[in-house]
Chain A
């Protein structure tokens, strides 16, 4: 006994006492699916690119590359996407949704300004793929197929690439230099684009060009016509033709008073274009009410600001030179408009029909296995039609008709074409559980109101085709990116490391500043889970 007075045992650290044995549940780090990612039709990893952008500086380029893994058009998308991500954003329940589209647009514009390029690392596969249609879906497929190592040729019937991005979306929403820059970047990767090349027979084109697979994305470019009895002097055009002719040399002549028939986004585009062409009056005639209008709220608001007038609950009975005869409607119990027999006149020099579009599917005539229903081509979940090797996407397949959906189809089809060319079937990825609002601890997020984008002043909006919505700059884009709650994914806030009463959360340090649970001492109290702002930890029962 060589110990001090009254000491009988060796003194030691409590580290010998493995309190982890008390545990009935263990804390485990998880990645949950952020609702924005879940809602994105293009399958963007929004939370992840915002995470990179939050750093600013060099982080912007990393963010852009992350974004480009899923979507080759950040600058376009940040302008024309209806951003369902923001509708799903958890921050919307806290104050206001993160302005995802405005940060995306900022990144896209930075990339154009700085000449950032996507990386192609895949080795050439030796396979050739034909893409028909140089719209959002076709270009997206071409981009992703090129990144996967395939040789891509695009055939487009039109004189310029872009599809509905050019011939459907007015330039005050999408300036053409932005469109051109992002299309050019795809072509620079080695994609061959053949314009004014209408494909009349898919199988022939495939055979002639020795293509191993084809992706159809011809879009829906034919304006639907409704039968309207019309006098000889009546001037009637469809909205698609009107918007397309805006890209030509000659401005279409619509007259002083223009009526637009329809209630969708195309009707708004047509009405706002008519105003800019000098129409004193542009009146949208729609058979239902504003609440039931398919056009997005902000488009209706912007149109109204610019002086577009709305005529709700009306159908057009008859068109003559200089005037229209309208019939008033009323909604029945099921919300369907019923005629009332009450007529009125509306002075109009021309009538624009914006009643939806149809796809021209004549190139598929006689192709075995192709199934067409309601004017669109049916595809399997892997985007393949009934004919092996022929895939289709965008507006010509059953789906919501937006640029973003088209881009998403292009990506999805590219991945499945790649698998098909390799003789494999792509296994659907296991999706993580969604990081819903109740999984977050929102106490930790500082109040930060959304950054609003500047709008062009009204006088310039009425008379010119200048871009209406402005972009963010370096500082407020950073502010907006940092409003992201990082739902379901660790953003290295150190909270778990801080709040553990047992020091059982280990901080591993750079890079990435990840953490680990020390199960020797984790008693399973759950404090790290409760105090994790982003819901990136969960409790799992211990096996007994």
Chain B
């Protein structure tokens, strides 16, 4: 899923300074699962905003709504009747959702309430770990199901640097060395020979480095 983290309240309050009517829009898919921007987080943020306004004796109208996904036109269309009546739309989706709202409502101020962190998994309750960079050219099959591009701090393709110690990465004792994970996995599945060949430089043109990307499915377009 796309993992996000809600911005600190002070930063959100600072962005909203001077606005009287705020539409807080949650997203019911990825960011709901990681407790960053679903309906519960919308309710919490709306309450925080109202309390803060009351304390400062400011007039503030906050409207709450959560749509299924902010990255699809049919779901954000639900916002159209409400958008007209608000000064600002505060999106609690990932960066894609925020931008899609801005595209749909070109005359409205659209602000982000969430920092989009990464593509990750639920490692254990409350812990989300990054697994994918979305590079557009998946190499995981050669590396025992562990992505060195994402999980090695240096994205090395030909084995660990000199900073791999006791399974940990040199940058942080809490970070596992991706190459230890790759080595152990390949050993377990009997594919250590995969590591003998020199991996060629990666084609970064399919990643963001080739410019903003677009996926077109010809058989699904109308």
Whether both chains belong to one complex is answered with: no
Give B residues with C-beta under 8 Å from A: none
